[in-house]
Amino acid sequence: MGSEKNNEYETWYFINGIKVASITVNIDCTYCSSTSSIIKNWLGLHAYSVEPINEVEMKDYKLARVNIAYEQSAAGQIKNENSIPNELHYFFTNDNKTFIDFAIYKNELINENSDKIAKSLVIR
């Protein structure tokens, strides 16, 4: 399943009807100069990295592994709303203002294989 917008294409992966992962390609991105800029502009002001960002220079792009958590708004806290669970994002960026976000939303799927899958993706 997926969607397409002007400069963006997204594909979702489901297990038993639950969205567990996605890959989003964003072309002509004006804010992909740094991982922190991508976090704030792509995921929102309430998103932050739980642990140090691990960045690796690959042949034609940079790969950043980021464990994301979200601050709950004051209104959400007052309403006792459930907070969004952590997400694991792999940001692939290059010099052409393109970035790809490979995201895993299900904590049970985040393990040593997650890194292997991300590093095995072929970026063209």
pLDDT digits over 29-82, tens only?
A: 888 778 999 999 999 888 999 989 989 888 888 999 999 998 877 666 677 776
Q: Which residue has the higher pLDDT, 52 or 123?
A: 52
Range of the domain at 26: 2-120
* Number of domains comprising the chain: 1
Q: What is the pTM of this model?
A: 0.81
Computed over every residue of the chain, the mean pLDDT equals: 83
pLDDT of residue 66: 94
d(C-alpha 89, C-alpha 35), whole Å: 11
Q: What is the CATH number of the domain that holds 101?
A: 3.40.1000
pLDDT at 101: 94
The closest of 85, 92, 90, 84 to 114, measured between CA atoms, is 90
